[in-house]
Amino acid sequence: MLLEGWPAEEAGALAAAIILEYTGMGRAAQLAFGERIPEAAAAERILEAAARAAAGEPLQYIFGYTEFCGHRLEVGPGVLIPRPETEEMCLRIIRENSGFKGTVTDLCTGSGCIAIALSLAFPGAKVTATDLSAAALKMAHGNITRTGASVTLKESDLLSAGHSDIPGSNIIASNPPYVTMREKETMQRNVLEHEPHEALFVPDDDPLLFYRAIAEVAEHRLLPGGVLWMEVNENLAARTAGLLTPALYRKVRIIRDIRGKERFIKAERYG
């Protein structure tokens, strides 16, 4: 079934993940005891999940959750699935700010993943998360409640609301839409056909529109000595960094992710 929609290696990985989810058998157990027949209920769920995955639906939507920084977050249609790159950015922030008790703002929060991870890592911090999407805000609210994070959610349109509703912050973090329309052709169909395009894509003729807004927010709401973190398009990192007013920041760094791609910008404001 999965081989009809995926190359053999990917089909095998999907099958293994589905079997693990509904039987608890990891890859080694599947190889050792592959002749075992699952119970009827589990078999039915496996077949249903395989059919959905064969049609291109992401496993995270099929299972209804994903793991992020050690926390289980619910995800579903209409809300972007958190990526490993975003998790890497969060882990960098957490490692560099042990015991942090200041104020954090997460712009374009989506599922709430960044805000939740930072809130749970920094229990003494005040964390605010913003988004425009009703589906994202509903999902984020549920995830905040389930994880026990302490996050204030705000409905806010980053592109038009300005910065008046954003608190003064020691850390501002964001993973806004940054994939250009011309990059669509390089993306897998499970992303294109199922994940929300408004959370992914930006116009080819104005790919930095969200980053200009973030730079504006940071100019007015990032506190002295504060740090701005942004996940960015690997092909536009230098241009994105160039949006930040040099006089405001003592250091602006482009940071490569674990795969060597220019994926993050860290800007440290003068104290």
| Alpha-carbon span 241 to 267, nearest angstrom | 9
For tokens 């990059």, name the residue: 183
Helix/strand/coil for 253: strand
Q: Model confidence at 233, in pLDDT bands (50, 70, 90)?
A: very high
Are 178 and 210 in contact by the 8 Å Cβ rule? The answer is: yes
Task: Find the range with the poorest average confidence among 10-14, 93-97, 261-265.
Answer: 10-14
Q: Would you tell me which CATH number, out of the four given (3.20.20.70, 3.40.50.300, 3.90.1150.10, 3.40.50.150), belongs to the domain 63-269? A: 3.40.50.150
- Rounded to whole angstroms, how far apart are CA atoms 85 and 147? 21
**Angle between the N-to-C axes of helices 113-121 and 134-147, in degrees from 0 to 180, rounded to the nearest 10:** 20
Which residue stretches of the chain are H helix?
Answer: 8-23, 27-32, 40-54, 59-63, 84-96, 113-121, 134-147, 189-192, 209-221, 237-241
* Among 48-62, 112-126, 232-246, 255-269, the least confident range: 48-62
pLDDT at 16: 76
SS3 226: strand
Q: Hey, what are 17's tokens?
A: 């993940």
Mean pLDDT across the chain: 90
User: Cα separation of 114 and 116, whole Å?
Assistant: 6
Closest to 176 (Cα-Cα) out of 232, 123, 125, 227: 232
The ranges assigned to domains in the chain are: 2-55, 63-269
Note the pLDDT tens digit of each residue in 139-183.
Answer: 999 999 999 999 999 999 999 877 788 999 999 999 999 999 999
Position 79: which residue type? V
Tell me which of 5-19, 56-70, 208-222, 230-244 is least confident: 5-19
Examine the pLDDT at 32 and tell me if it is beyond 50: no
State both tokens at 41: 């209920």
Query: For residue 59, how far is the Cα from the chain centroid?
Result: 16
Residue 35 has pLDDT above 60, yes or no: no
User: Higher pLDDT residue, 41 or 218?
Assistant: 218
Whether the pLDDT of residue 200 is over 80: the answer is yes
Task: Quote the DSSP letter at residue 259.
Answer: T
How far separated are the first and last CA of the chain, in Å rounded? 59
132 Cβ contact partners less than 8 Å away, ≥ 6 residues apart: 155, 156, 157, 158
